[in-house]
Structure 1
């Protein structure tokens, strides 16, 4: 018996759809507080020492946190090649902007302290802000466009054509989703700073975090209302073939108002995702108000996981709908790699993902505790 036949093709497809969600959540939870901290830097730190406290709170871990972004991109490339082709071509300029912003982070970390000139350091502080704010915004804008459908088409010979533009991505609903993303990562960054810092920085972070948590609740509710009333979802109108070849053109699809909410009615347990999004933000707000540092970080993580997973839960089995050729929409059943490829990747993932989780957990355990401002002042034990 060939090993990969031990798991059905449709089961493997669903497993990799779920694993992609896990990787996105892991990236949002780990690198998310880095992005939120960078966004908050100009607002929670007023002196050079306070800014160095903020930077050193993420300095030892931000680089390792990006492994989840690399893993997510690699998983899309290997498990969902058509998704990779459409998203990385259609969102090319947006991703270039994210890449440039992310490049500012290591440069800012490394160069900021090379010169004591206040103007030099202030410039790099704003570079770190851009490196946090821009990716947070664009990732949310991308999700907003995915929910609306992306303007791509597939020719009979399976060539993929993207007919949109960069400015077309900046539509009102997508920008609203971008604001949801910024608010939830600012909340997460504030929860991290409250956990890792003391004094004035922690006090300001708590204030900003409470505002961000409230904004998450309001903006997420507004986005849900807009999705229900102004954004058409998509439904497969032909027979669903789960074991067929990866050819999206073997089905018919129609856009329907409120279609993204049908999964919640059909599978009520999926309501746990949006409920977690709302509840986590409200509990994080309460945790910040009551100065429960550890609980706030957990509740903030719960909110982010719920919001990210709610996108996948509402869209299943779609992973990237087409707004101009609905039949070409990519789904879990027709956009994956081969049966054997998914199986080999699953074996590799079962080996290496636990290793990554183990060494990441060990690093956080070693680096646990608050950033010592006195140590920064004396030049002992801190990198930046």
Structure 2
């Protein structure tokens, strides 16, 4: 969409330039208790190309000159946020007009780094008109009390993600100079909270992690492909994995070499001994499914598909459907199909454009047709 980061930043800055004086005037009149350093960053929490906003402070996206832009079509930048002085997120949007005089604003974010993050944003297009103290120009605000959160995971820098489409049926509430504010909250490396009932059922009400870390009374050695040794307890390996049980029975020595990386061996043993994966949000869930499949760890399938299901978004929905079908995760596949049926933006994703599984596409359309039919009836 953009030729370079410099071009993107410069165009967005020029787009917001007419509003810089307005912000500067109102901000310079604020309380003297606010430091000069903060003042140079602009109104705290406002994400705009005119000012530098910290990711941890971001509370609203500023869509300047909203009326003019929503009347037509085009691509526009909003601005970015920073962490430790480095660019971290960049927000932009496209606008279009569809049948029935509906004006659409499609919101996107570019993650300039790697890792996991979550974004909470307004889940409704209902507008509230407000006026700032000492300012005659009203602004429009999307609801702050109805926020929805999505989780994302970037494996490389500068990945773009679709967030949401806002639909405005009428523009009569937009003043010529109106700025539209979209409430948001960004969390970097969010703490993932699993359903306690699921965790309890998987862990079988016991946690033997102490045995793994202290390595007391171990009686069996597992070796990875690199020949790194992992002292274990044979009875636990056999109790949790039918595959390991068979391999142990067929071996006449107290050790077993498995063609698996050191990292995957650590994950395998962590699950066998604790019934969960502590930092599962930072792990490759497809890799966990491969481990579960290889060693027939039914409960690891349950845990992993629950985590994957909470990370579905328009950019990865097709990939998740492929994974769910491959590992025969029927609950996850149904959840993905339901998400796709309710979010047609998925059909614009690269995953859909590159989908080669004809049967999966047929199943998806059949599911969507049945869903629509059930609503009609």
Structure number with the higher helix fraction is 1
Larger radius of gyration: 2
Greater relative CO (CA pairs within 8 A, separation 6+): 1
Q: Please say whether Structure 1 and Structure 2 have the same fold, judged by a TM-score greater than 0.5.
A: no
Structure number with the higher strand fraction is 2
Normalising by structure 1, we get a TM-score of 0.21
